[in-house]
């Protein structure tokens, strides 16, 4: 009995430690994907099972839908989005890797790597993102950094470069750890950055791929249940651990609208699928782009007229000339079901001296829709302001007396 209890608790410990990165070993593999259950014409915000979710417009990074999207939570194998990105930025696709014993013994979802096997980085990345191989993740980490710990440092360094504050990586595959977390919003930002890499986008949009195991071909399939089943979906990654629940990051483009949808903490695979699909359909049925360039330019022109009669000069007589900055994009998504109420607010210096440098930022225009900040554009001083010399002051003295 003692031996049985010892084995039983060891089993529970190992079971709790597994990183079930995809759905190959989940008991719900028998669930069939039924997109008929998903609403294709949903116009009200969907009520979802997932604990955390966000939909982000890729063009403007505007949040179009969210549910507790800033909370730090475990993210399971969606971690591998960052792992793949780090690999693409730090090594060549044709590099050959020798599989270590540690990588070959990795548990959870695996590609089936064997110690001393030779495999290319290219094939490892497909195994990582399609099959969601934890052994591929460890293999990549050891090849690039020598250890999982050092590779995690690279991941966290990249997270800081992207300006993320609610993200921390401990492993390259997503094994549950209290110090391994992100938020739905920051995971969307990581994904958006990664999708700018053509190879990353090619990998995550691939449904089936043939890799080479010691020069023997093997075809693997993508675990992403929406890829090829929902109009416009072109990636990205599934995930599952006991603590993280069912997770899915999706990228979808229809016409000009290109979005990323993240759902984390769903109770079942079916829930994460329906949640993602319902959010995607809601966004495309609700939002379209509006060009805001005219209201920004008109607001700036009106301000320049006001400014010309209301600035103050100190130790200079040069007339300040203002220049409006630019945005990368002037089309923003707005709901078709809500009335637009676009207004601008302008904040600017009104006192200038010769010390105010040309091309320095002296103000900002903020655009709001129903009191929600949409974007901001900088205002710059365009010209140099010349310091008054002794001749100016001498002339003033003469005028004062004569």
Pairing relationship of beta strands 118-120 and 208-213 according to DSSP bridges? unpaired
Choice among 50, 67, 80, 299 that is catalytic: 80
Looking at residue 112, its pLDDT comes to 92
Residue 43: band (very low, low, confident or very high) from pLDDT cuts 50, 70, 90: low
pLDDT for residue 34: 57
Q: What average pLDDT does the segment 114-140 reach?
A: 96
More confident residue, 12 or 256: 256
**Structural domains of the chain, ranges and CATH numbers in brackets:** 50-286 (3.40.710.10), 292-381 (2.60.410)
Please, are residues 94 and 122 in contact by the beta-carbon 8 Å criterion? yes
Instruction: Give catalytic status of residue 158 as yes or no.
Output: no
* Banded pLDDT at 388 (limits 50, 70, 90): confident
Which one from 132, 145, 183, 299 is the annotated catalytic residue? 132
Clarify whether 336 is annotated catalytic: no
Alpha carbon distance 40, 48 (integer Å): 15
Closest to 173 measured CA to CA, from 260, 237, 235: 237
CB 185 within 8 A of CB 66: yes
**Is-contact 125 144, C-beta < 8 A?**
no
Q: How confident is the model at residue 39 (pLDDT cuts 50, 70, 90)?
A: low
Tell me the average pLDDT across 143-163. 97
Neighbours of 84 (CB within 10 A): 27
For residues 34 and 246, give the distance between their C-alpha atoms in angstroms, rounded to a whole number: 17
Report pLDDT for 175: 85
Share of the chain above pLDDT 70, in %: 87
Contact 147, 140 (CB under 8 A): no
Residue 18 has pLDDT above 50, yes or no: no
Please check the confidence at residue 159 and state whether its pLDDT lies above 50.
yes
pLDDT of residue 214: 76
* Residue 40 scores a pLDDT above 70: no
Candidates 77, 100, 205, 299; catalytic one: 77
Name residue 35's beta-bridge partners: none
Rg (CA), the chain: 28
80 is catalytic: yes
């Amino acid at each position: 009995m003692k031996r049985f209890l010892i084995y039983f608790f060891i089993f529970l410990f190992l079971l709790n430690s597994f990183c079930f990165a995809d759905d190959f070993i989940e008991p719900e593999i028998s669930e069939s994907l039924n997109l008929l259950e998903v609403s294709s014409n949903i116009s009200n915000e969907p009520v979802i099972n997932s604990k955390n979710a966000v939909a982000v417009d890729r063009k403007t990074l505007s949040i179009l839908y969210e549910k507790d999207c800033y909370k730090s939570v475990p993210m399971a194998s969606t971690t591998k989005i960052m792992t793949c990105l780090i690999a693409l930025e730090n090594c060549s696709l044709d590099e050959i890797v020798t599989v270590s014993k540690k990588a070959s013994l990795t548990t959870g979802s695996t590609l089936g790597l064997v110690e001393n096997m030779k495999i290319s980085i290219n094939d490892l990345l497909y195994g990582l993102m399609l099959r969601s191989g934890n052994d591929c993740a460890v293999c990549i980490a050891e090849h690039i950094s020598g250890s999982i710990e050092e590779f995690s440092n690279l991941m966290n360094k990249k997270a800081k470069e992207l300006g993320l504050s609610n993200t921390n990586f401990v492993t390259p595959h997503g094994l549950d750890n209290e110090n391994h977390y992100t938020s739905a919003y920051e995971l969307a930002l990581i994904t958006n950055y990664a999708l700018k890499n053509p190879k990353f986008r090619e990998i995550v949009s691939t449904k089936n791929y043939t890799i080479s195991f010691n020069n023997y071909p093997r075809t693997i399939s993508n675990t992403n249940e929406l890829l090829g089943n929902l109009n416009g979906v072109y990636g990205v990654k599934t995930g599952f651990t006991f603590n993280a629940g069912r997770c899915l990051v999706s990228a979808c483009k229809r016409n000009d609208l290109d979005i990323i949808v993240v759902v984390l903490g769903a109770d079942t695979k079916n829930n994460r699928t329906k949640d993602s699909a319902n959010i995607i359909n809601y966004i495309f049925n609700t939002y379209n782009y509006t060009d805001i360039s005219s209201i920004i330019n008109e607001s700036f022109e009106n301000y320049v007229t006001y400014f010309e009669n209301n600035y103050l000069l100190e130790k200079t007589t040069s007339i300040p000339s203002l220049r409006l900055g630019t945005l990368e994009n002037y089309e923003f998504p707005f709901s078709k079901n809500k009335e637009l109420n676009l207004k601008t607010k302008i904040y600017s210096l009104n006192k200038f001296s010769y010390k105010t440098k040309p091309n320095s930022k002296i103000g900002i225009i903020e655009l709001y829709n129903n009191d929600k900040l949409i974007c901001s554009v900088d205002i710059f001083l365009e010209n140099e302001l010349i310091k008054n010399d002794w001749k100016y002051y001498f002339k003033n003295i003469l005028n004062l007396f004569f």
